[in-house]
Structure 1
Amino acid sequence: MRQDIPYTRDLVLVGGGHAHALVLRSWGMDPLPGARLTVINPGPTAPYTGMLPGHVAGHYSRDELEIDLVRLCRHAGARLILDKAVDIDRVTKQIVLAKRGPVVYDVASIDVGITAEMELSGFADHAIGAKPLDKYAARWRDFLEKAAKGRIAPQVTVIGGGVAGCELAMAMAFALKEQGLAPEITVIEAGPEISGMGAAAQRRVLAAMEGLGVNVRTDARVLEVTEDHVFLAGGDPVPSALTVGAAGAFPHDWIARTDLPQNDGFIEIGRDLGVRGDSSLFAVGDCAVMPADPRPKAGVFAVRAAPILKHNLRAALGVGKRRQWHPQKSYLKLISLGGQKALAEKFGVTLSGSLLWWWKDRIDRAFMDRLADLPVMTQPKAPQAATGVAEMLAAKPLCGGCGAKVGGGVLEAALSGIAPVGGDVVTGAGDDAAVLRQPGGGFQVISTDHLRALVEDPAQMARIAAVHALGDIWAMGAAPQVALAQIVVPQMSAALQERTLREITQAAEEVMAGAGAQLVGGHTTMGAELTIGFTVTGTRAAMPLTVAGAKDGDVLILTRPIGSGVIMAADMAGQADGRDVAAALAIMVQPQNSEAQVLGGVANAMTDVTGFGLAGHVRAIAKASGLDAMLCCDDIPIYQGARGLSQSGVSSTLMPANRSNAETAGADDPLLYDPQTAGGLLAAVPAQEVEATLNALQAAGVRGHVIGSLSGGSGNVTLR
């Protein structure tokens, strides 16, 4: 978004572990000017280790368990790339990703945790590691639901009798009992006793497991895992419908394949948390090991390391001197005992009971509250200025994407003075694209569109802008042809300019090429904020579709949900659920080639739903075609989370103008006036073609939604 100080250095955080989450919170309150921050994580949230057993037992919901990285990154002014790191090239200083191009860094930190995936016969196909936590938690929720419905036996085997394995076994036993089931839980430990705790704690944990019906088998070696059994050396096989690996901490395979200094696959770091022998890399949390001061794999260390990590990252970027971190020699172990009871152990002293659960719960919730209750930055006092300035500054910040468009009424007034078309121009302003006759026959359509950035990631924004611009070509039933880019990048160093433009160009080329178009050039400049646009052309042998061709009796088909404007407005304000934001963006970056090919052959009229909202674009078809439109509100698809946000009063800055211009009657739904970015195609299809069209869309791997119909009239839109 808008920035006042040029970017000169790229700081990249790989992974959304606890230390990085705390760094993001602190960075938002005290950012380093000139440093552009990027976070790379496979998903929009990261589970909190301390609350996982409570979640498994049913004491915490999924929302309470997960750290919202989208909100944290918005707070910190960071871009979030939802992808997985698979390699690091330290020569070119690039983080190699699984699904998109590499990300260049000047300084980077790694906090990706560990895995519990085990190299046992059949484990990869029939078992799940306790870490990564998000994968295990999702698998457990699915298993519990099936067991509760009687579709699967409540038989669970946990491989590993350490603290983590025992906690999860007790949590799963408790949750299954709460469903009225008689669980069969077995913990398999290779050693002579459960481990990771003192003798007194062992006795209490064993008693708690016995009370929950958990069976412990020690001195047992696993040979193979199958779909319904765990086979042991010299013992009877254990029936198991869910097998969980919790035997130790294993490094991620991709780290072992890098040239990073390692100790048994873990990244070696010094007391400054810096990677040994590399002044630009850091590592923290369970994925790292400090040979000078080895410590157990426990989240408490990552939490305590976060302030030192932030300080030393700033030092590596040019501000201050590095500090050393000295992890505590002893730490408090709080072990969940299935129900709302816990055990505490420190300095050889062991206590257990409900009071300890209350204490653990309070500590865990306080940690999560720190990452959820983000401080609101105070706005500077408005200066003395001309009449009207104070009112505009007091309004909500301008939205990105199509939410930043000029209102429809203002635009119509401005365009009314454009001279009538003539010569080779068949249609001009007023439709999705202008239509031109081609000298050799057929038609060409041309349109232009640009977007104020609604996300910090230039590559993701380029994809959204490209899909958005191509929507005008698809809406005319034309085949995309060529594109010119118009790019405004924030002020930054030459090195960062090159990195940014490379990411934008690569993303734009992929979208354009996938649509059959060619990116042939454009114009680039620097400005106050990232803005990306494209001028696009397309061709069609027959007269392109317009909004004026709809017929009496046509049915309206929409290809995408609405509500993206509300979600993005809430994201800007830090009020959106990160999973909802990520889900909406995942749809917005997808091209609509298949939808356009199917609808372009049957539609009488078509447009794409963008800045003027669904109601405004339906009105455009109805008015131009001389028909009335009836919209069935209950049939209109809505983006996940948009309804709740709208009902709480969240709206885009363009929504009031859209509402005043739409002229609808009947039921009132603010989401109908919500401006869409890279929105769906809206087609008027003959009634007799609807079923075949929906089937064709489904066969192409996409979906269409019947949302209303058209009938004789004069351009009115009615909602029901």
Structure 2
Amino acid sequence: MHLPLPLTRDLVLVGGGHSHALLLRMWGMDPLPGARLTLINPGPVAFYSGMLPGHIAGHYDRSELQIDLVRLARFAGARFVDTTATGIDTENRQVKLSNGTRLRYDALAVDIGITTDIPQIPGFAEHGVPAKPLDGFALAWNTWCDRLRAGAVAPQICIIGAGIAGVELALAMRHRSGALGQPARIEIVDSARALDGISGDSRSALFERLRQDDIILHEQAPVAKVTATGVELVSGAQIEASFVLGCAGARPHDWIAETGLQHAAGYLSVDRHLRSLSAPEIFASGDCADLSFAPRPKAGVYAVRAAPILFQNLRATLAGGSLRRFRPQKDYLKLVSLGDKAALADRSGVTLSGPWLWRWKDWIDRRFMHKMQDLPRMPAPPLPPRRAKGLDELHGDQPLCGGCGAKVAGSELQQALAKLPAPMRPEVASLPGDDAAILSTGDGFQVLTTDHLRAFTEDPALFARIAAVHALGDIWAMGAAPQVALANVTLPPMRGALQQQTLGEILGAATEVFRAEGADLVGGHTSTGAECSIGFTLTGLRPTPPVTLAGGRPGDALILTKPLGTGTILAGEMQGRAHGADVLDALASMARPQGTAARILAGAHAMTDVTGFGLAGHLLAICDASELGAEIRLEDIGFYRGAVALAADGIRSTLAPANRDVSGRMLLPEDPRAELLFDPQTAGGLLAAVGQGEAQGILRALLDAGFDARQIGSLVEGPAFLTVL
């Protein structure tokens, strides 16, 4: 077997701005062998600012201006870290993260945009909405429009900041509120001159448009405070408003100035190659950068045009080669939306306006978003022309899933296990099919289990956390207290510094999970292989006989502590068809320990964790051991956001078809949700059979503890058969 090419360099991107989004697309189409790519960004999406006024006006759906950074990272083969960068340790070449961890880099690029001073106005943080971050503004605006439609708020808006952005958004808001049948009274206030930085003719044309739309403008009018009923100016004038938007006070993020890197008023100063003037391995682009060699206003056009230069120069830094110069144009075309489907164009003192400019702007914006949303499908390496029979069928078109989607099929596993001899040692008390081995001790019982996962995320720390939670599932399912863990880690080939960093992230994350549950990680084994995989061997203690699969009783309520659908979501992500927000939601749930849930369920008659063989397979295992049937209701089962839609589109984990072999022992409705009963779960929920009289109290305790627990059905008299209603 040929191992993959070793990883030798770490490239870290901080921020999901337009330059980095385009870079991820280019990287996916032409990756640099040997380089590991990481994107750090708080949240799964970035908003394309060029289409924001159109969305506010009601011309675009919110999804049309979202750049799915998780999907782009998957396309680029990059690790996505869902958090905020808070600093750079240039001496040790590490990025500091808000969660307290650090990531090393050989080359670093920063594209984090800018922030605002608006929240410093008294009362704004409580009663106002900043225009950035764009997604928060869009959500708040749509909520306000829903309330306006319902008659719950007065149609009164105040915008703080009379630059191009403030005026453009005022016109958009006027159009949207008018379309809702309640044209809002809109007032714009600015502490200085309005529409500064735009040519005289364009300025005059925008003033006239504001007048036509009855939008009131207050220049040289600083704000004193924002209240629940509106805005109070320093002059004492009161402006009534049920929606206060802040579009002024743009400034850089504070931590840039604290890095020790050369900056201009907090903007990271770069040279003609977009490199920091202080550290040639650090690059910056977009609004957070100071183009020291050619100062320019903050505008998205420069970030977009910087992307190919940044791509080339980062590759040259990591691999050697010549750097390209960034030559920003001296002026750029400003296209300003006018609320309705018309726009104003300003460049070099020339002003034009009309509906045709909106159509042109719309074409430019949609072409950009097409690049971000319609990613090319990169062809898989072709099979050898001469190959053994059956290879085509087993190879298939879908890449092998990670996590529990990579398990051996249940039927093959059962046939192999059936050949094992019965235990010969008297202290081994396991029953066939139990979640873990049970060893009797002098003063109680010890349970022993092992689990191993193939990587499904490029983030080793997140993967380790999920693998630890997943391995603990068998201990929790038997009602035992975790005791000790051994790790078994396989890393892909990489140079020493990357290996040390990666192994440290894995062991640190796993230790945190185990320590929180009272267990110690005491050692293990490492090796190098074709890909990353992580496994743990665990022991747990229980003074009384462990909970097994065999204790279910007729009438027992079935309680499930997590939703279903992780295998389908992970398969959808691998195929570029899952939404990044849905992926992060599922990963966060997978990483959540269930020790508290296990303690609440400690008195269950029977229990298991729902993992590789899906809810159907694991529930039938309880039915087999307890010699009972079961009835469940699809309406009562929780599903991860996005999973049902993916299932309806035919997305399946690679293990799902084999899991469906148990369908001959089931009564199933025609429903895409029914397909998710066969979906392999990684770090899935606990499935417990509890007495009906105790079910509501247990369910209430689980919900109070923050678990999305559901009572999904019950065990019934009869053969081991599953009826799905």
TM-score > 0.5 by shorter chain = yes
Give the Cα–Cα distance (whole angstroms) in 2 for the partners of residues 461 and 212 of structure 1.
54
Map 1:419-430 to 2 at 5 A: 419-421=421-423, 422-427=425-430, 430=433
Conserved 8 A contact 1:480-1:515:
yes
Give the Cα–Cα distance (whole angstroms) in 1 for the partners of residues 402 and 194 of structure 2.
59
1:681 equivalent to 2:682? Answer: no
Conserved 8 A contact 1:249-1:297:
no
Q: For structure 1, which segment, 420-429 or 19-28, has the greater mean C-alpha deviation from structure 2 after superposition? A: 420-429
Map 1:1-80 to 2 at 5 A: 4-80=4-80
1:129 equivalent to 2:130? Answer: yes
Give the Cα–Cα distance (whole angstroms) in 2 for the partners of residues 426 and 212 of structure 1.
81
Give the Cα–Cα distance (whole angstroms) in 2 for the partners of residues 138 and 666 of structure 1.
39
The Cα shift of 1:509 comes to 0.7
The Cα shift of 1:234 comes to 1.9
Map 1:260-279 to 2 at 5 A: 260-279=261-280
* Structure 1 residue corresponding to 2:418, chosen from 416, 419, 423: 416
Give the Cα–Cα distance (whole angstroms) in 2 for the partners of residues 191 and 698 of structure 1.
53
Letter in 2 for 1:145: D
Name the SS for the 1:70 alignment partner. Answer: helix
* Structure 2 residue corresponding to 1:580, chosen from 579, 582, 588: 582
Letter in 1 for 2:447: V
1:175 equivalent to 2:186? Answer: no
Map 1:308-323 to 2 at 5 A: 308-323=309-324
Give the Cα–Cα distance (whole angstroms) in 2 for the partners of residues 556 and 208 of structure 1.
64
Give the Cα–Cα distance (whole angstroms) in 1 for the partners of residues 667 and 116 of structure 2.
58
Conserved 8 A contact 2:270-2:277:
yes
Give the Cα–Cα distance (whole angstroms) in 2 for the partners of residues 616 and 377 of structure 1.
35
- Structure 1 runs of 4+ aligned residues shifted over 3 Å read none
Letter in 2 for 1:141: N
Conserved 8 A contact 2:3-2:529:
no
CA gap 1:192/1:382 in 2 versus in 1, 3 angstroms:
closer
Give the Cα–Cα distance (whole angstroms) in 2 for the partners of residues 582 and 639 of structure 1.
11
The Cα shift of 1:248 comes to 4.3
> Under a length normalisation based on structure 2, what TM-score does the superposition of the two structures give?
0.97
Gaps of 5+ in 1: none
Give the Cα–Cα distance (whole angstroms) in 2 for the partners of residues 582 and 634 of structure 1.
24
The Cα shift of 1:556 comes to 0.6
1:527 equivalent to 2:532? Answer: no
Count of residue pairs brought into register by the alignment: 717
Map 1:608-627 to 2 at 5 A: 608-627=609-628
Give the Cα–Cα distance (whole angstroms) in 1 for the partners of residues 151 and 261 of structure 2.
48
Residue 703 of structure 2: aligned partner: 698
> Percent of pairs identical after alignment?
51
Give the Cα–Cα distance (whole angstroms) in 2 for the partners of residues 301 and 284 of structure 1.
8
Give the Cα–Cα distance (whole angstroms) in 2 for the partners of residues 569 and 134 of structure 1.
27
Name the SS for the 1:437 alignment partner. Answer: strand
- After superposition, give the CA deviation of every residue in 1:191-240 in whole Å (9 maximum; x if it has no partner): 24332321221222222223333211112111222222222122412112
Give the Cα–Cα distance (whole angstroms) in 2 for the partners of residues 154 and 460 of structure 1.
46
Give the Cα–Cα distance (whole angstroms) in 2 for the partners of residues 292 and 513 of structure 1.
52
Residue 379 of structure 1: aligned partner: 380
Map 1:244-393 to 2 at 5 A: 244-383=245-384, 384-393=386-395
Residue 157 of structure 2: aligned partner: 156
- After superposition, give the CA deviation of every residue in 1:466-496 in whole Å (9 maximum; x if it has no partner): 1110111111111111111110010000110
Q: For structure 1, which segment, 258-267 or 676-685, has the greater mean C-alpha deviation from structure 2 after superposition? A: 258-267
Residue 446 of structure 2: aligned partner: 444
Map 1:564-643 to 2 at 5 A: 564-601=566-603, 603-643=604-644
Name the SS for the 1:380 alignment partner. Answer: coil
Conserved 8 A contact 1:114-1:132:
no
Give the Cα–Cα distance (whole angstroms) in 1 for the partners of residues 611 and 567 of structure 2.
10
- After superposition, give the CA deviation of every residue in 1:238-259 in whole Å (9 maximum; x if it has no partner): 1122222212421112223322
Give the Cα–Cα distance (whole angstroms) in 1 for the partners of residues 561 and 67 of structure 2.
32
Letter in 2 for 1:435: I
- After superposition, give the CA deviation of every residue in 1:114-167 in whole Å (9 maximum; x if it has no partner): 112323222333323212212222222222222322222232211111111111
CA gap 1:302/1:55 in 2 versus in 1, 3 angstroms:
same
Conserved 8 A contact 1:594-1:702:
no
The Cα shift of 1:573 comes to 1.0
Letter in 2 for 1:558: L
Residue 565 of structure 2: aligned partner: 563
Q: For structure 1, which segment, 393-402 or 484-493, has the greater mean C-alpha deviation from structure 2 after superposition? A: 393-402
The Cα shift of 1:395 comes to 4.2
Letter in 2 for 1:698: L
Conserved 8 A contact 2:616-2:662:
no
Give the Cα–Cα distance (whole angstroms) in 2 for the partners of residues 16 and 429 of structure 1.
50
Conserved 8 A contact 2:12-2:38:
yes
Give the Cα–Cα distance (whole angstroms) in 2 for the partners of residues 395 and 67 of structure 1.
27
Letter in 2 for 1:286: D
The Cα shift of 1:315 comes to 1.3
1:101 equivalent to 2:104? Answer: no
The Cα shift of 1:100 comes to 4.7
Name the SS for the 2:622 alignment partner. Answer: helix
- After superposition, give the CA deviation of every residue in 1:363-419 in whole Å (9 maximum; x if it has no partner): 001000011111111222211122222322234211000000001100100111112
Residue 85 of structure 2: aligned partner: 85
Give the Cα–Cα distance (whole angstroms) in 1 for the partners of residues 487 and 3 of structure 2.
22
Letter in 1 for 2:711: V
Residue 436 of structure 2: aligned partner: 433
Name the SS for the 2:457 alignment partner. Answer: coil
The Cα shift of 1:347 comes to 2.0
Q: For structure 1, which segment, 621-630 or 313-322, has the greater mean C-alpha deviation from structure 2 after superposition? A: 313-322
Gaps of 5+ in 2: none
Letter in 2 for 1:459: A
Conserved 8 A contact 1:116-1:132:
no
1:644 equivalent to 2:621? Answer: no
Q: For structure 1, which segment, 254-263 or 274-283, has the greater mean C-alpha deviation from structure 2 after superposition? A: 254-263
> Under a length normalisation based on structure 1, what TM-score does the superposition of the two structures give?
0.97
